[in-house]
Amino acid sequence: MEKRRIYMDYAATTPMKKEVLDAMLPYYNDLFGNASSVHSFGRGVKGALDTARTEVAKLINAHPSEIYFTGGGTEADNWAIKGVAFASKDKGNHIITTKIEHHAVLHTCEYLEKYHGFEVTYLNVDEDGMISLEDLKNSITDKTILISIMFANNEIGTIQPIKEIGKIAHEKGIVFHTDGVQAIGNVEVDVKELGIDLMAMSSHKIYGPKGVGALYIRKGVKLHPFVHGGAQEKKRRAGTENVAGIVGFGKAAELARVNLDNYKNKLISLREKLINGIMERIPYTRINGHRTERLPGNANFSFEFIEGEALLLSLDMVGIAGSSGSACTSGSLDPSHVLMAIGLSHEIAHGSLRLSLGDSNTEEDVDYVLEHLPKIVERLRFMSPLYEKVAKGG
């Protein structure tokens, strides 16, 4: 087989769709007005922001007035957590989250602990990456003001029981935030049906531009503003909007909503072929993440006796782009906190690979990976004295 270039790192980022770029371009020059201006240049741009807001709202069944644009998923997570923490200080100082959150949540919680006197409970997860609802209930105190639990994990793809978590939070009058960055555009997300109060979103994971996202804030939820200044985003997130970015996000949200079923089904079918093919061909392999409650495009494996960085580079040499377990700490040799939280040892966590599928991937891409990956793993394992011993039955 000839060498191909295959992108299987869609959970890290996605390419912008042509329709998205086409929608954005006029807002860089022809339609350059400032949405806050009263004249027609400004009004046209305001209309474009309203359209984008409506499209993002439709994707998650929110009202457009509940969508606040941000500079990405990280900012939305920061805002949700700090915003509720600061607004509810006199009610309590306890936050519940999990050990497998994205760093945008974990580091925000750590900051609140270190500098603002908050107490944070980091829930454990089981070997599939699921939280326990019992643990959640037991960790609630009369000081708990916020539960922040991610919708779907970016590394292992596990989807949490969001509706049940929402119910538990509301029975106790606690605000429920979820990091929905990996979920939107990949699975149905209905914030009303699921009882979500706050949800962070990002555009560049759904074929939109980078550096733009949104926070869904259910009507009536109290939180402090994030950026102080002008009146943009109802004075809660001030600053002239990234108009072209927001227009692109709106277009990406519209396409994601219209294509959701097809996209999801296509990815599930490719993922299953990939996972089953790898499990058949490569011994001493573990699939990480829940087998069914998982993101359609996520496959995450740990191969015993090998080093993840070497694996990624070897895959890159045959044109396959994947990522290691430590997806968001690239350059770090520490195994990911997510893989450690599901109970993997340092050694096994090191030999992990995330392949995340998306738009461009085909059956032929999966066949190509199934041809090359087993050979690469085998070659790398031959460098491991331990593998030699195990393979020889020693």
Alpha-carbon distance of 237 to 242, in angstroms, equals 12
Q: Which is nearer to ligand PMP, 121 or 323 (CB)?
A: 323
157 touching ligand PMP, by CB under 6 A: no
Q: Find, among 392, 65, 101, the residue nearest to 218 by Cα.
A: 65
| Active site annotation includes 328 | yes
Q: Find, among 89, 96, 75, 72, the residue nearest to 150 by Cα.
A: 96
Pairing mode of beta strands 6-7, 285-287: unpaired
User: Residue 204 burial by CB count (10 A; 0-12/13-18/19+): exposed, middle or buried?
Assistant: buried
73 touching ligand PMP, by CB under 6 A: yes
298 touching ligand PMP, by CB under 6 A: no
255 touching ligand PMP, by CB under 6 A: no
What is residue 209's DSSP assignment? -
Alpha-carbon distance of 277 to 311, in angstroms, equals 18
| Residue 37 labeled ligand binder | no
Least distance to ligand PMP, CB of residue 101, Å: 8
| Residue 160 labeled ligand binder | no
What is the total count of residues that contact ligand PMP (CB under 6 A)? Answer: 15
Closest-approach residue to ligand PMP (CB): 73
Least distance to ligand PMP, CB of residue 210, Å: 7
CA atoms within 13 A of residue 294's CA, in its CB half-sphere? 24
144 touching ligand PMP, by CB under 6 A: no
Structure tokens at 322: 């994947």
344 touching ligand PMP, by CB under 6 A: no
| Residue 182 labeled ligand binder | yes
User: Which among 221, 328, 340, 370 is annotated as catalytic?
Assistant: 328
| Residue 74 labeled ligand binder | yes
308 touching ligand PMP, by CB under 6 A: no
98 touching ligand PMP, by CB under 6 A: no
The answer to whether 75 touches 213, Cβ cutoff 8 Å, is yes
Q: Find, among 175, 120, 177, the residue nearest to 151 by Cα.
A: 177
197 touching ligand PMP, by CB under 6 A: no
Q: Which residues pair with 324 in a beta bridge?
A: 353
9 touching ligand PMP, by CB under 6 A: no
| Residue 73 labeled ligand binder | yes
Q: Find, among 59, 323, 52, the residue nearest to 186 by Cα.
A: 59
Alpha-carbon distance of 227 to 235, in angstroms, equals 8
Q: Cβ atoms within 10 A of the Cβ of 167, count?
A: 14
Stretch that binds ligand PMP, among 69-77, 216-224, 268-276, 350-358 (CB under 6 A): 69-77
Looking up tokens 């200080």 gives: 89
Among 17, 53, 82, 102, binds ligand PMP (CB under 6 A): 102
Looking up tokens 């993101």 gives: 295
372 touching ligand PMP, by CB under 6 A: no
107 touching ligand PMP, by CB under 6 A: no
Structure tokens at 334: 């520490």
182 touching ligand PMP, by CB under 6 A: yes
The answer to whether 212 touches 71, Cβ cutoff 8 Å, is yes
74 touching ligand PMP, by CB under 6 A: yes
Stretch that binds ligand PMP, among 80-88, 139-147, 164-172, 177-185 (CB under 6 A): 177-185
Least distance to ligand PMP, CB of residue 162, Å: 14
| Residue 109 labeled ligand binder | no
The three-class DSSP label of residue 97 is strand
72 touching ligand PMP, by CB under 6 A: yes
CA atoms within 13 A of residue 235's CA, in its CB half-sphere? 2
Binding site listing for pyridoxal 5'-phosphate = 73-74, 154, 182, 202-204, 240
Residues lying near ligand PMP in the complex (CB under 6 A): 72-74, 77, 102, 104, 150, 154, 179, 181-182, 202, 204, 213, 328
Binding site listing for [2Fe-2S] cluster = 328
Binding site listing = 73-74, 154, 182, 202-204, 240, 328
Which residues are part of the catalytic machinery?
A: 328
